[in-house]
Amino acid sequence: MKILVINAGSSSLKYQLFNMEDTRVMAGGVLERIGEKKGVLTHTISIREREEKIVQKQEIKNHKLAMHLAISMIVDPKHGVINDISQIDAVGHRVVQGGEAFGSATFIDDTVKKAIRSNNPLAPLHNPPNLIGIEVSEELLPGIPNIAIFDTEFHQTMPPKAFLYALPYEFYTKFKVRKYGFHGTSHKYISHQAAQLLKKDIETVNLITIHLGNGCSISAVEKGKCIDTSMGMTPLAGVMMGTRAGDIDPAIIGYLLEQTGMDIKELDRVLNKKSGLKGICGMNDMRDIHDASQKGDPNAALAVDMFCYQIKKYIGAYAAALGKVDAIVFSAGVGENDGLVRAKICNKLSNLGIRIDTKKNLSKQPKPFSLHSPASNVEVWVVPTNEEFQIAKEVKKIMTCSNQNRK
């Protein structure tokens, strides 16, 4: 079964073609700066006998052209990996906000598209480009099933005590104001990987999964099911991130509107793009921040301290929510690569049974790897995330069920 995974963002489109027989990526790529004159297409082929990378600079006017270019590369006689688009069995689309309507992967039809559109106000930056990806795919790949996988799906198992805000209840019933959580495909993928590494059934393990990339989120996973997560109604909540503020006192918003004369749109931009690590030290890439900190920049050191402290507090909170924790799992750009951050987060957590081996943590090792010491009651792992593969897995599952039902 060949599955094309599409992740359409506002100015970029990522794609990967999986051969699910050997679960390998055949080809993939990213189209960046859609809508600008200086677009870039990067296409990588990774089939057994060929490893190739092609970079093309060209104007990519819109998402339709981006998708067209992606498909052309996949079937290209020279750079492609299949002869014809009819060899693609299904297309899996990442959709950021599924609201409460979607608890699992879903075949896309007009009703589903309408439901996704109805969630646009909850994810104005993400859902509209996701929908464009779907519509372009329907047009360019007629007859091939399109399946939506929602970032919010994994978190739909949270109980009301975890997902409700202490606001008038009608804000939830009338306006859908609640915690939805994001990065769900990543948390789901690393939870299942971790269970395998622990040699345990997913339904028997309790985990704290920590996704630290540009966006950061932490989940409490009880017996394979999410019971709480740090992001909220939007991906702005939780711990501070590269450029996002994370949790702040809500009264700050009104106060700053009054004090600065900014309008709400401007302030929203500040909270999303100019806050977090960047807000504190002017940089959002953790590698640059460490460099600056080593050179004596006090705000760079402060930004790392704040980041690690906030994550440490979530570990404490989720350890309390779960009662018993089998493992803590670090993932994504910072979580997978930054031993200094991991060490700072795990420092002084021995009262929770968490002890790491400093040498294991800082040494370069093939991933996944464990970093807990023999004395630790809780295992600590680095597990690389793979959201695209998780999407392909979900698509294969729903396609197989549907094929069996048809027989």
Site for ligand ADP (CB under 6 A): which residue of 337, 343, 353, 357?
Answer: 337
Burial state string for 10-36 with b = 16 or more CB within 10 A and e = fewer than 16: eebbbbbbbbbeeeebbbbbbbbbbee
Candidates 65, 286, 329, 356; binder of ligand ADP (CB under 6 A) is 286
Task: List the one residue out of 216, 246, 208, 212 whose CA is nearest residue 334.
Answer: 212
Site size for ligand ADP (CB under 6 A): 12
Q: Quick check: helix, strand or coil at residue 56? A: strand
Stretch that binds ligand ADP, among 225-233, 250-258, 281-289, 314-322 (CB under 6 A): 281-289
Does the protein bind ligand ADP through residue 368 (CB under 6 A)?
Answer: no
81 binds ligand ADP, rule: CB under 6 A: no
Residue with smaller CB distance to ligand ADP, 333 or 353 = 333
CA of 402: how far to CAs of 94, 227, 405, in Å?
20, 29, 5
Q: Tell which one of 35, 128, 282, 333 touches ligand ADP (CB under 6 A).
A: 333
Cα(317)–Cα(46) distance, integer angstroms: 42
Nearer to ligand ADP, 128 or 333 (CB): 333
Smaller CB separation from ligand ADP, 12 or 206: 12
Q: Among candidates 407, 399, 396, 385, which has minimal Cα distance to 185? A: 385
Please, which of residues 140-199 interact with ligand ADP by CB under 6 A?
A: none
Q: How far apart are CA 355 and CA 270, in angstroms?
A: 37
Select the residue interacting with ligand ADP from 24, 38, 287, 397 (CB under 6 A). 287
Encode burial over 275-313: b for 16+ CB neighbours within 10 A, e otherwise: bbbbbbbebbebeebbebbeeebebbbebbebbbebbbe
Cα–Cα distance between 21 and 122 in angstroms, integer? 37
Residue 155 Cβ vs ligand ADP, minimum distance, rounded to whole Å: 17
> What is the contact mask toward ligand ADP in residues 229 to 258, using x (rule: CB under 6 A)?
-------------x----------------
Q: Does 304 bind ligand ADP (CB under 6 A)?
A: no
Residue ranges that bind ligand ADP, judged by CB under 6 A? 213-215, 242, 285-287, 332-334, 337-338
